[in-house]
Amino acid sequence: MGIDEVAGSGYFLYHSIGMYPGKAEQAAQALAGVATLWGTPDDEQWNRSLAIRNEFVDRWRRLVDAPAGTLTTAENVTAAAHAVMGALPDRHLRGRKVLIAADCFPSLHFLLAGMAQRRGYELVTVPVRAGEHWVRDEDFLAHWQADVGVALITWVTSTTSHRCDLKSLVQHGRAMGSVVGVDITQGVGIVPFAVPEFAADFVVSSTLKWLCGVSGAGILHVRQPLLGECRPELRGWFSQENIFSWALDSFAYARDARRFDSGTPSILPFAACLPALEWIGGQDPMDLLAHNRRLVEVLVDGCGALGLEIVSPRRADERGGSLMCRLPAASDPAALVDTLRKQSLFADCRGHTLRLSPGNMTTDDGVARLLRALRAAL
C-alpha cells in the first residue's frame, strides 16, 4: 500500500466480506474473550456463551425490527433456507410449485432442486430475458399463480445488484396463498430493511457482507403463524421450550424460533460478529447509504467513460449497494483482479462481470485510483 493511502480506501468487496474501522482488533478481542472463558476451569461457560448468542440474535432483531422470538441463528444462508424447507407442512410443497429466479444465489437453487423430489414439488426457475441481465419482477409475477406453494425471492442479487420491488412481490404472494421467503443477504446493512414493512413469511441472511461480520453467523426469521406450523427436521434438545426436558417420549418444540435450534449451539462466529453489529448499530443507516450511493454514481460515470457496459440497474432505487460492469471479452478477469490487488484495490469478477461494492471504508480517492487503474489495465 502506498504511504499516503488510507487503509480500506480501495476496498470494493462489501458484497463478499464487509469491513469497518477496527474490525480486526475488535473481533480479536471478542474471540480472545471467548478463549479465556472456555479455558478457565470454572462453571461460567454456558451462562456467558448463551448470553453472547442471545445478544447476537437481539442485535439482529433490532436491526431488522423483527418481533421477539421470531429469529434464530443458522450456519449460513443455505442452511437457514434448508431449515425452513425441511420444516414446512406438506400442504405447502407436495404437488405444488416452488418459485425462484434464475439470478438467485446458486447455492439456494442447488438446495431447492435437491429437495424437490423428496418433498414432492416442482421447482420453477424464472429465466433472465435474452440480452438482459436480471430477472424482471413482471416475469417473476407472470410465473406466480395459486399453484405456487413457496416462492423464494432474492431482494438484491449478487450478480447485478438488482433490487426487486419486494413489497409488491410479497403482496402478490399473499394473494396467491403462497409461503414467501426472502434472501436479504446482499441488501441488509446497506439498504434499510424492516421485517414489518414487507411481512414475508421467512427471511434468510448472513452477517458477513454489508454487516461486516465473519462467516458462520447466518440468521433465520420466521413469521407467525407459519412459525407455529413448522416442524424442523433437524431437532434436538435445544429445539425445546425447556432444553433440559430429557424424557425420551415427551419431546416438544419451543413455541418460538428456537424450535429451529438443534444440539449444542456454536458461539464463536456470533462472538466475532457482535462488535460489527454494534458498530453498524451506532451508524446512521442513511449516512452509510448516502456514502455508498455517491461513490457508486462516480463509478457509473467512470466505468461508462471507459466504455464498460453497466449490467446493474441505472436507477438507485432498483439497486443494492454494488455496481457490476462487463469487462471486454478479450480481457483476462483474473489478471485484472491481480493487477488491482497489487495497488491495494480489492474487487472480484464472476466470469467477465466486475463487481464493485464501495462501503464505509472506501473513499473518493479509492474510487479515483480504481478508475485510473482500470483505464491503465484495459
Binding region for ligand PLP (CB under 6 A): 76-78, 105, 107, 154, 158, 183, 185-186, 206, 218
Residue number, 154 or 353, with CB nearest to ligand PLP: 154
Residue number, 153 or 295, with CB nearest to ligand PLP: 153
Would residue 367 be called left, alpha or beta, if left means φ above 0 and alpha means ψ between -120 and 50 degrees? Answer: alpha
Residue number, 76 or 360, with CB nearest to ligand PLP: 76
Residue number, 198 or 253, with CB nearest to ligand PLP: 198
- For the bound state, the minimum distance from the C-beta of residue 249 to ligand PLP, rounded and expressed in Å, comes to 35
CA distance 228 to 174: 18
Helix (H, G, I), strand (E, B) or coil at 325: strand
Q: Which residues contact 213 (CB under 8 A, 6 or more apart)?
A: 18, 206, 207, 269, 272, 273, 276, 277
Strands 179-183 and 148-154: parallel
Contact 5, 373 (CB under 8 A): no
Residue number, 96 or 162, with CB nearest to ligand PLP: 162
Distance of CA 204 to the CA centre of its chain: 7
CA distance 73 to 58: 11
- For the bound state, the minimum distance from the C-beta of residue 49 to ligand PLP, rounded and expressed in Å, comes to 23
In degrees rounded to 5, what are phi and psi of residue 343? -105, 20
Cα–Cα nearest to 336, from 354, 320, 324, 314: 354
Residue number, 9 or 158, with CB nearest to ligand PLP: 158
- For the bound state, the minimum distance from the C-beta of residue 364 to ligand PLP, rounded and expressed in Å, comes to 26
- For the bound state, the minimum distance from the C-beta of residue 206 to ligand PLP, rounded and expressed in Å, comes to 5
- For the bound state, the minimum distance from the C-beta of residue 6 to ligand PLP, rounded and expressed in Å, comes to 26
- For the bound state, the minimum distance from the C-beta of residue 204 to ligand PLP, rounded and expressed in Å, comes to 8
